[in-house]
Amino acid sequence: MALVFLISLAVVVTFLALLELLYSGLVLKPERLRSALRKQGIRGPGPSLLLGNISEIRKSQSTTVRASTNEPPLFHNCAATLFPFFEQWRKQYGPVFVFSLGNTQILYVSQADVVREITTCTSLEFGKPSYQQRELGPLLGQGILTSNGKVWAHQRKILAPELYTDKVKGMMSLIAESTTVLLSSWKSRIEKEGGVAEIKIDEGMRSFSGDVISRACFGSNYSKGAEIFLRLRALQEAMSKKSLSIGIPGMRYMPTKKNREAWALEKDVRNLILEIVKERKETAHEKDLLQMVLESAENSNLGQDAMDQFIVDNCKNIYLAGYETAAVSATWCLMLLAANKEWQDRVRAEVLEVCGSAGCIPDADMLRKMKLVSQLLVFHYRSFKEHLKDISKKTLLPCS
């Protein structure tokens, strides 16, 4: 009888402890954070238990989709169209407010001076948000994009020298090869469609930047690198579909359709990368990004599983950090040239003059002789920065 009583008491105590833990994590901690912000005059929409403000966000997005038409927009405020809930909350609560995705409290800041202070002076004090590793683990892992402190410093020490100017100049042949492939595909399509074709430049630019990274990262194994790139793109899309579930306690462990899809793609990417690593160890060394990551992992005190994870995560981070930014920037430059026929003609004439009418593929030395191209690139980056000015005035910070 006494044994039964003790077992029952232990069960009750355990149950109460679990309830206390859940109540503290789901109610008390978020409320403490919001209370501290309210004392500083920062308010925001009231969250619901477990979901936070996800229901309001979905409702706002669905309303915007139903209101849209096939007619061209009268304005180009993309942020208001994509994130109408931010516009609504900003008007209601001011330029700084707090909202929540599930149990994750997020501080929204749209004051330019505050954002500048955060990004240029004190961003390292904030570190990378911990929820990125938890919620976006299949996509980002624990690579340089999500790590902090000594781990981040170690990874940066490995990767940064490979992206210095002299190293990038050595990649000119890789970039030229990828450019040739892209242009050939466009020419072939134009010929098939009778001399005129409508081509979506952004898709081509993404494929181009992914191909360059595949060649730079995996060397002679770039064809398998291209396959990894395609799987990573699919994984990125799969993770974006469940972005609103970030912060909901336990959702990342549930075997939902979206989670199963992301887990399967993560496994495929990992196996492909480790397959290339195995081949690399059995053949001659190549001087590429993969070799640098591989040598660093082998010289560390990591166990085999941790070493494999280090290699996989940083290979994924190299792709994700490089291909999208390069693709968007190149697309913007082409758009500027398309909109300014005079500059297009002048730049083409200079390229033909430097490279020769035979169409010699340019190298780093030729690029230095192209003064108009250099001016175009400077203007391109300045205008691109100005175009993103409104976006750069906003930042999201996880509350902790």
174-202 pLDDT per residue, tens: 888 888 888 888 899 898 888 888 888 88
235-264 mean pLDDT: 80
Residue with tokens 């064809």: 223
Tokens in use for 228? Answer: 């990894």
What pLDDT is attached to residue 99? Answer: 92
What the block records as the tokens of 359 is 């169409």
Phi-psi region of 45 (alpha: psi -120 to 50; beta: other; left: phi over 0): beta
What tens digit of pLDDT does each residue of 106-146 get? 888 888 787 777 767 655 566 777 777 777 888 888 888 88
Look up residue 91 and give its two tokens: 């008007």
Q: Which two tokens stand for residue 269?
A: 């990417």
Residue 396 backbone class (left: φ over 0; alpha: ψ -120 to 50; beta: rest):
beta
With a cut of 70, say whether residue 164 has pLDDT above it: yes
- Residue/partner pairs of 176-181 with CB below 8 Å, 24 or more apart: 176/361, 176/362, 176/363, 177/215, 178/208, 178/211, 178/212, 178/215, 179/208, 180/361, 181/208, 181/211
Phi–psi pair at 39, nearest 5 degrees: -65, -20
d(CA 44, CA 56): 12
pLDDT at residue 98, rounded to an integer: 92
Per-residue model confidence as pLDDT tens digits over 286-342: 777 788 888 777 777 778 888 888 888 888 888 887 777 788 888 888 888 888 888
**Band of pLDDT at residue 221, cut at 50, 70 and 90:** low
**pLDDT confidence band for 392 (50 / 70 / 90):** very low
> 38-72 burial, b if ≥16 CB within 10 A, otherwise e?
eeeebbbbebeeebbbbebbeebeeeeeeeeeeee
Edge-first strand order for the sheet with 395-398 is 96-101, 104-109, 395-398
Residues 6+ apart with CB under 8 A from 166: none
Question: What's the pLDDT at 365?
Answer: 81
Q: Give pLDDT, residue 97.
A: 92
What is the chain's mean pLDDT, rounded? 79
To the question of pTM greater than 0.85 for the whole model, the response is no
Judge contact between 47 and 30, C-beta under 8 A.
yes
With a cut of 70, say whether residue 244 has pLDDT above it.
no
DSSP for 279-313, please give it.
HHHHS----SHHHHHHHHHHTSS--HHHHHHHHHH
pLDDT tens track for 1-50: 677 767 777 777 787 878 877 777 777 888 888 888 899 989 999 888 87
Q: Is-contact 240 307, C-beta < 8 A?
A: no
Whether the pLDDT of residue 67 is over 60: the answer is no
